[in-house]
Structure 1
């Protein structure tokens, strides 16, 4: 089964914090975010774990890392790639399924779930 596409995909997205990182990058019209912005939003993630997950997501082509040398010190920002944006459409479908079949309209930290852009 290790060569199965579904198993390979779950191996990428099933790691702890991966979906949370992708969701944070998606929020705010997929604007670029700095490492510390992500760390602040994902309050209990360790810097080491965030760094590892961002590198993995970059290697898998879901996240793009951009260097801004115009600032001193230089900064890196992160955003979703086209592949990452398409993956968020799958997450939106999962959310729709959950709202229709499993969960009442729970309020998330951002807004009323049924009105959330995700």
Structure 2
């Protein structure tokens, strides 16, 4: 099973907060977000876990960290790569499955949900 693409993908995406982070980076008009903004929007994530997930997502090529060194202290922002943007379609599929089989939510049934922006 170690060569199975599904298992390999789930080893990346199945970690707690991973999909939430990708979704937060996708949401809204401003596609780049700083560490503190992500932490605030995600709610219960610890700084240690958020930092670890951001490093993992960057190493997997799903996000890019961009640091502005002209400010003191330097400000880092994160945004989705093409690969990360493509994964949003998978998250949309999860939403469709959830609204069809598990959760009745009139907000999510709209073409663009006010909660997840999908």
| TM-score after normalising by structure 2 | 0.89
Q: 1:14-93 alignment to 2 at 5 Å?
A: 14-29=14-29, 31-93=31-93
Q: Distance in 1 between matches of 2:4 and 2:37?
A: 35
1:64 aligned counterpart, secondary structure: strand
2:15 aligned counterpart, secondary structure: coil
Cα deviation code 1:48-78 (max 9, x no counterpart): 1100000000000111100112222111100
2:104 aligned counterpart, secondary structure: coil
Unaligned runs of at least 5 residues, structure 2? none
In the TM superposition, what is the alpha-carbon distance from 1:29 to its structure 2 partner? 3.8
- Checking the alignment, whether the CA contact within 8 Å between 1:30 and 1:80 is kept in structure 2 is no
Q: Which moved more, 1:29-38 or 1:78-87?
A: 29-38
Unaligned runs of at least 5 residues, structure 1? 107-111
Q: Distance in 2 between matches of 1:51 and 1:75?
A: 15
- Checking the alignment, whether the CA contact within 8 Å between 1:30 and 1:79 is kept in structure 2 is no
TM superposition outliers: structure 1 runs of 4+ over 6 Å: none
Is 1:113 paired with 2:108?
yes
1:78 aligned counterpart, secondary structure: strand
In the TM superposition, what is the alpha-carbon distance from 1:113 to its structure 2 partner? 1.4
